[in-house]
Amino acid sequence: MSHFPFIANIGILFSTFLFSQIEAQEISKRSSYIELHTAVQGSFGPSLSQAEIAGGIDTLSFDNKKHLSPGFKTSVAAEFVAGIRRNKFQFQSTLGYYKQDIGLLEKFSQSGDPFFIADLLSVKASALLQLSNTEKRGPNGFYTGFFIGSVFSVSTTLKDEIKINYAVKVIRPYSEIYWGIDYSYIQSFGKKGWYAIAGASITMPGLLGGIGKIEMENNSPYTIIRDKIQMYTVRGFIGIGMRLKCKPDSK
């Protein structure tokens, strides 16, 4: 697997973060912050472009073959966030890790076999706008905005039953680029800059790549129709954050 997509996306993430720091130096007041999140996310694939294999016998199918695609279990992610706040805007970078359990399901069915487990790293850059009155509430209140990110397969573990029954050779690690919308609410507590945060995000249509690619054995009774495993997510999270020192005008 080429490391170029990984290096390129890491570069995009951190260049965005550094750009926000440079911009922040031109405002009258700025502050930085860090956060730790626990996120629960449900995932699903696109209906038309998802990975698919076909084979075996299904008399109800249009071609008398079984058609199978990946299905995703709910997962839990750990995330670290670092960002900069300026006036009503926040610019932040997020690094996350989670295990994704994936099944191989018959099309239009919720039944299937365990497929593989993927160790995934996610990175994203977000630009958020505070919707509440900053003069009275400070950083507390509701935020919303857009993000762009990528998820990388660090490793994949294919189930033995899949190797035997479908002659799947391997799931090749791959990377996926996506974008979406963030929502969050911040509430301060204590006097040391600590705050609680809760929120949600959703991946929007238009992703590129995938979290893995299916490769079959030469003697497999199943054929690949599409090989890229794609994944949209809807997630909710809770966490804690800490505001670091504010910096005055640098001019």
Q: What single DSSP character describes residue 191?
A: S
CB 243 within 8 A of CB 195: yes
Q: Is the dihedral angle over the CA atoms 141, 90, 249, 241 positive or is it negative? A: positive
As a whole number of angstroms, the distance between CA 246 and CA 33 comes to 10
pLDDT tens, position by position, for the chain (251 residues)? 444 344 445 444 444 444 444 444 444 467 899 999 999 999 998 878 899 999 987 767 778 888 999 999 999 999 999 999 988 899 999 999 999 999 999 877 777 889 999 999 999 999 999 997 655 656 789 999 999 999 999 999 999 999 999 999 999 999 999 999 999 999 998 778 899 999 999 999 989 999 999 999 999 999 999 999 999 999 999 999 999 876 554 54
Q: Which CATH class is domain 4-248?
A: mainly beta
As a whole number of angstroms, the distance between CA 180 and CA 48 comes to 20
Q: What single DSSP character describes residue 243?
A: E
Radius of gyration of the chain measured on its C-alpha atoms? 21
As a whole number of angstroms, the distance between CA 157 and CA 101 comes to 10
The pLDDT tens digits for 103-159 are 999 877 777 889 999 999 999 999 999 997 655 656 789 999 999 999 999 999 999
